[in-house]
Amino acid sequence: MLFAATFFLVFVVANENPRLATESQTSPVEPVRPRLSLYCTLSRCSVFQKWAYSPLVPYKDMRVGVIAIQGDFEKHISSIKACGADAVEVRTPEELQTVDRAIIPGGESTTVGMLMQRFGVAEALKTRVADGMPIWGTCMGMIMMAAEIEGRPSQFSLNLLDITVKRNAFGAQVHSFEDAVPLDGLSEPVLGVFIRAPIVTRLGDHVKAIGRYDGKIVAVQQGRCLGTSFHPELTDDIRLHQWFLSL
Ligand code: GLN
């Protein structure tokens, strides 16, 4: 009985949700046509959908906006989709209104800071975060979220995390490296990809350091705001994306 129920559930869910039915979770897949009449009836019933899918795809109703002004935004979109949530590129305040949470990717903080202000995205982000929207910045994204940038008092930042960051703290592009980074709350370390990465040199009272590398703070959380010096979107590991979706 239990076997039959499990088989039925897997069959139904895999057919209805192409992401579960395929190895590659990032490439677009044509939906599979339903074959069972019972399945047809049940799969259109919202109560059944909630009951059947929620434990397997807990993030399916979420829509993440990745700030797509410059940098590696496409990689974040793939990682979020691999978690089962939706992800879209965001370049305007109007596009930001269509999402539940946002990611600022890696890139060049001086350029993105200037353009974010020009496009009105900076103000829109600040308003949404003040209203409780979760946000995550990776590398340049964390610099953009900081309250202060060491040695660059005139560089624009969003002041969403009460931290001071030091840019390029591990050296230039040629000094990029990868290494294991243990994070509070994850049993296994993540692979940290550090590319002209910043470190956190001051933590405000309400900010928690959740990851250190070589004694330096490289991951922080303040309420629903997350910042990492490194690039989880450049690895196949989606645990940090799942962490963000659960905030
Ligand atoms: N060093 C870059 C900056 O300060 C950030 C690098 C990155 O996002 N990989 O903008």
Among this protein's residues, is 231 annotated catalytic?
A: yes
How far apart are the CA of 130 and the centre of ligand 1, in A?
25
For residue 72, the domain's CATH number is 3.40.50.880
How far apart are the CA of 196 and the centre of ligand 1, in A?
5
CA distances from 43 to 19, 35, 53, 86, 204 (A): 16, 11, 10, 20, 48
Which atom, in ligand 1's list, is nearest to the CA of 106?
8
> Which residue do the tokens 């969403």 mark?
160
| Residues 233-246: tens digit of each pLDDT | 999 999 999 999 99
- The pLDDT of residue 161 is above 60: yes
d(CA 8, CA 191): 37
What is the amino acid identity at position 9? Answer: L
For the segment 125-153, the average pLDDT, to the nearest whole number, is 98
Quick one: 143 and 196 in the same domain?
Answer: yes
Both tokens of 223, joined, read 């309420």
Quick one: 101 and 207 in the same domain?
Answer: yes
- The pLDDT of residue 117 is above 70: yes
Identify the domain containing residue 130 by its residue range: 63-245
Indicate the residue among 35, 53, 71 that finishes a domain. 53
For the segment 169-186, the average pLDDT, to the nearest whole number, is 95
d(CA 97, CA 240): 24
| pTM of this structure | 0.79
Strand partners, 225: 135, 222
Residues flanking ligand 1, CB < 6 Å:
106-109, 139-140, 143, 167-168, 195-196
Q: How many domains does the chain divide into? A: 2
3-class SS at 115?
helix
Tell me the pLDDT band of 11, cut-offs 50, 70 and 90. Answer: very low
User: Is 113 domain-assigned?
Assistant: yes
- The pLDDT of residue 134 is above 90: yes
